[in-house]
Structure 1
Amino acid sequence: MESVQLEHENVNELSDSKGDLSVNFSTITPKKPNSALRKVARVRLTSGFEITAYIPGIGHNSQEHSVVLVRGGRVKDLPGVRYHIVRGTLDAVGVKDRQQGRSSAL
């Protein structure tokens, strides 16, 4: 009898970012001891996976069926959130009236 080893499938296996369709938006409360309403989106990838991605920055205008760019990088106080949405690309606009300089991607 042969033993079969299961591999954990990584969404970003072949590329560092993916452009995909957002399904819905919500807020999640972080783990203890933090307290907030963190903005997240359920995103359906072109590969068929459906993931939860964090929306960084203050405020966003993304709606259902927005096309967003997703990069890797977890959010430490949100369980199960292992991806970030890249601001300033595709349908995700940059942070409005940002006071301090940032790269064009944020």
Structure 2
Amino acid sequence: MNFLSVAYRQFANIFFQTNTKLLSGNYTRTPLLECCQQMATLNQMHRSPWRPKIKKKRPTFGLPFLRGIVLKTLIKKPKKPNSANRKCVRVRLSNGREATAYVPGEGHNLQEHSIVLVRGGRLQDVPGVKLKCVRGKYDLAHVKK
């Protein structure tokens, strides 16, 4: 064991302070140094090397909405137990990326070069569709009754 891991374990209480704030009846301990992580044991290091955690990117890249231009309209088929024709569009987003977005509701007026507003929210039974179009904004009209 190296010196740092021994020192970390012996002086772990130095890195923590007790909050005086009462959260749901319990005192909480928060780290003073946020950079310190729990050290791995020798068995854990021997079993597999340390890899940094990969943060998953949200479909709209941390933004609530993105504007996009329709490249083409698609009809996608859902996965096995379901059977339908899901109306989707291929969109070039304002950040330069391309994605497939679902058009909710019955009927739409989208064609190539239409402008749409997309939000996050995947289509559970169609793989690869992680965005939904917002009805009533830009060129995508409300659902007609």
Range into which the TM-score falls when normalised by the shorter chain: 0.7 to 0.9
1:35-54 → structure 2 map (5 Å cutoff)? 35-54=83-102
More helix by share: 2
Flag the 1:11–1:76 CA change in 2: closer, same or farther, 3 A: closer
Residues 5-84 of structure 1: pairs in structure 2 closer than 5 A: 8-84=56-132
Larger radius of gyration: 2
Structure 2 partner of 1:100? none
Contact 2:70 2:115 in 1 (8 A): yes
Q: 1:5-48 CA deviation, whole Å, 9 max, x = no partner?
A: 76554442242001111100010110010001100000001111
| Residue number in structure 2 paired with 1:88 | 136
Percent identity between matched residues is: 46
- Higher mean C-alpha deviation, range 24-33 or range 12-21: 12-21
Amino acid at match of 1:81: V
Larger RCO (CA within 8 A; separation ≥ 6): 1
The CA distance in 2 between the partners of 1:13 and 1:36, in whole Å, is 29
For residue 40 of structure 1, give the secondary structure of its aligned residue in structure 2.
strand
Would you identify which runs of 4 or more consecutive aligned residues in structure 1 move more than 2 Å? Answer: 3-11
Q: What do you get for the CA RMSD once the two structures are aligned?
A: 1.6
Counterpart amino acid of 1:63? Q
Whole-angstrom CA distance in 1 between matches of 2:61 and 2:91: 17
Contact 2:59–2:130 (CA under 8 A) maintained in structure 1: no
Residues 11 and 49, structure 1, Cα contact 8 Å, conserved in 2: no
Residue segments in structure 1 that go unaligned for 5+ positions in a row:
98-106
Q: Provide structure 2 residue ranges, at least 5 long, that are not aligned to the other structure.
A: 1-50
